[in-house]
DNA sequence: ATCGTGACCATATGCTAATTTGGTCACTCG
DNA sequence: CGAGTGACCAAATTAGCATATGGTCACGAT
């Protein structure tokens, strides 16, 4: 085991050949089943049947059912992250990048919530149980956030006194009500104004 | 029914004579039982026996078991609020009042979590289910927060451009990770530094 | 060797029946 | 008339069991 604990592995719980046609088939089947019936109501025997192999064979590729859940969850979160990164790239100023980062995350998460409730529940569970997929996602968001802030400091748009780590972790915490799936659901009413208010608050705090 | 919806009534669900010796006995018994066995494992028959009256008599004072839970919960939250107000009063500057308000809330909440886990669970449930007791508590915190900010604006310690309502609700949201019982439990590791960081972030944002 | 599986086990889950529990009401007693 | 209650009911909870499910392994096929 050479797993890096400090940098959660999104491919945790995987086994056997890393890129194998069957692995992808399992993931595709799992995505479809989890979305239609939910993680709990899907049995690994169902997935086995869907790909046309025996249940035991599934375990050549994943250590456990939860590992499959991880993979699907990581995929969902990855889609959100990709959209967020795209939104960030569209913006020119660090301020605007900052806004778009969190707006995109909330928008995409809300979309998932309404369109694929069952996958959203999986992601919510991943977050509350602190699965590697969720931790990895948060780490990616924080990395992106840090880059934006550093950029803003270079351009003189943001203040430079506060230690960058402190700023980042504080912002991640302050935005938790919109990042953590369960909280997002809880704070749905009031969106998107409530989020804008918090973003404005933080941006005022970043002002030089 | 003349219940004011916009200003949640902490005494919601009560019935009969408002100040009656028996009512207080019920509350005391409920406090003891909920703390020892939990809300779920306590039956209203237990409370009736503890007070020495019949179960039916309990319902002369409370509309439901949940109403009794509300009362106990409101009592817990009130203790936190009292401690927080005392801490605020000890401080001179608005900045320090601000720090103490949220520090005291977190400290007291954490105390409750460790010392009276079962009552804490009741409060957590109250928050997630948005019972009037929890809403009333949040309203009181926000009121106190508003007063501190207004004071800071008067003394010139805080900026005056941002609409006060926007500032307040944004801060309440940003502090949610330490206010909402479930989130507090989730964010226990890293305390109290993580909270200090968010408080610092907000204070920077409040700077004129 | 590599790909693949049926048979197997301990635990989790679903299900039904029996019991508790929250809540009401007509009623008694002083 | 007001303080207080036993008897009662629908809905929730529990207990106990049959089944399903997650997971492994020795083994066969190619």
Does A169 touch chain B if contact means CB atoms closer than 8 Å?
Answer: yes
pLDDT at A129: 93
Whether the per-residue pLDDT at A16 is higher than 70: the answer is: no
pLDDT at A10: 61
Residue A139, by phi and psi: left (phi above 0), alpha (psi -120 to 50) or beta?
Answer: alpha
Q: How far apart are CA A81 and CA B158, in angstroms?
A: 36
Q: How close B78 comes to chain A (CA, Å)? A: 23
Do the Cβ atoms of B50 and B33 come closer than 8 Å? yes
Strand partners, A14: A62
Does A173 touch chain B if contact means CB atoms closer than 8 Å?
Answer: yes
pLDDT at B128: 93
Tell me the chain A residues in contact with residue B166 when contact means C-beta distances shorter than 8 Å.
197, 200
Tell me the chain B residues in contact with residue A134 when contact means C-beta distances shorter than 8 Å.
none
Of B40-44, B91-95, B178-182, the range with the lowest mean pLDDT is B178-182
Q: What is the spatial distance, in angstroms and rounded to an integer, between the CA atom of B45 and the C1' atom of C20?
A: 11
**CA B165 vs CA A101, A206, B147, B156, B160: distances in Å:** 25, 21, 12, 18, 12
In tens, the pLDDT along B46-102 reads 999 999 999 999 999 999 999 999 999 999 999 999 999 999 999 999 999 999 999
Q: What is the spatial distance, in angstroms and rounded to an integer, between the CA atom of B9 and the C1' atom of C5?
A: 65
Cβ of B63 < 7 Å from strand C? Answer: yes
Nearest Cβ partner of A198 from B173, B180, B187? B173
The DSSP 8-state label assigned to residue A175 in this structure reads T
Do the Cβ atoms of A101 and A87 come closer than 8 Å? yes
Q: How far apart are CA B19 and CA B27, in angstroms?
A: 12
In this prediction, residues A101-128 reach a mean pLDDT of 96
Helix %, strand %, coil % of chain B (to 5): 70, 0, 30
* Percent of chain A predicted with pLDDT > 90: 88
Position B38 confidence tier, pLDDT thresholds 50, 70, 90: very high
Whether the per-residue pLDDT at A190 is higher than 50: the answer is: yes
Chain-wide mean pLDDT for chain A?
92
Which chain C positions have some atom within 7 A of a protein CB?
Answer: 3-7, 14, 20-26
In tens, the pLDDT along B15-36 reads 666 667 899 999 999 999 999 9
> Helix, strand, or coil here: B176?
helix
Tell me the chain A residues in contact with residue B162 when contact means C-beta distances shorter than 8 Å.
200, 204
The DSSP 8-state label assigned to residue B38 in this structure reads -
Q: What is the spatial distance, in angstroms and rounded to an integer, between the CA atom of B54 and the C1' atom of D8?
A: 15
Q: How close A75 comes to chain B (CA, Å)? A: 24
Contact between chains at A176 and B171 (C-beta distance less than 8 A): no
Do the Cβ atoms of B186 and B112 come closer than 8 Å? no
Nearest nt to A52, CA vs C1'?
C4
In this prediction, residues A174-199 reach a mean pLDDT of 94
Q: How far apart are CA A39 and CA A54, in angstroms?
A: 19
Q: How far apart are CA B145 and CA B70, in angstroms?
A: 24
Whether the per-residue pLDDT at A4 is higher than 50: the answer is: no
Q: What is the spatial distance, in angstroms and rounded to an integer, between the CA atom of B38 and the C1' atom of C25?
A: 30
Q: Compute the CA torsion angle A34, A40, A46, A50 (nearest 10 deg).
A: 10
Residues 2-61 of A with CB under 7 A from strand C: 17, 22, 40-41, 53-57, 60
Q: Compute the CA torsion angle A173, A179, A184, A189 (nearest 10 deg).
A: 80
Q: How close A59 comes to chain B (CA, Å)? A: 32
Q: Which residue has the tokens 């049947």?
A: A49
Residue nearest to nucleotide C21 (CA to C1'): B43
Whether the per-residue pLDDT at B188 is higher than 90: the answer is: yes
Tokens encoding A208: 């030089």
* Percent of chain A predicted with pLDDT > 70: 92
Return the HEC string of A67-136: HHHHHHHHHHHHHHHHHHHHHHHHCCCHHHHHHHHHHHHHHHHHHHHHHCHHHHHHHHHHHHCCCHHHHH
Nearest Cβ partner of B205 from A128, A176, A201? A201
């Amino acid at each position: 085991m050479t797993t890096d604990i400090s940098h959660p592995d999104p491919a945790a719980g995987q086994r056997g050949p890393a890129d194998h046609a069957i692995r992808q088939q399992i993931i595709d089947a799992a995505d479809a089943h989890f979305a239609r019936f939910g993680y709990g109501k899907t049995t690994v025997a169902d997935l086995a049947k869907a790909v046309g192999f025996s249940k035991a064979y599934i375990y050549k590729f994943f250590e456990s059912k939860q590992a499959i859940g991880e993979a699907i969850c990581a995929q969902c979160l990855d889609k959100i992250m990709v959209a967020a990164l795209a939104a960030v790239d569209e913006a020119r100023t660090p301020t605007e990048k900052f806004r778009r980062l969190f707006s995109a995350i909330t928008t995409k998460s809300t979309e998932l919530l309404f369109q694929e409730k069952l996958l959203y529940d999986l992601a919510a569970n991943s977050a509350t149980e602190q699965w590697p997929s969720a931790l990895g996602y948060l780490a990616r968001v924080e990395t992106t956030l840090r880059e934006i802030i550093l950029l803003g400091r270079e351009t003189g748009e943001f203040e430079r006194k506060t230690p960058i780590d402190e700023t980042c972790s504080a912002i991640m915490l302050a935005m938790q009500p919109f990042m953590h799936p369960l909280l997002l659901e809880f704070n749905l009413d009031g969106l998107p104004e409530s989020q804008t208010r918090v973003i404005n608050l933080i941006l005022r705090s970043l002002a030089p």
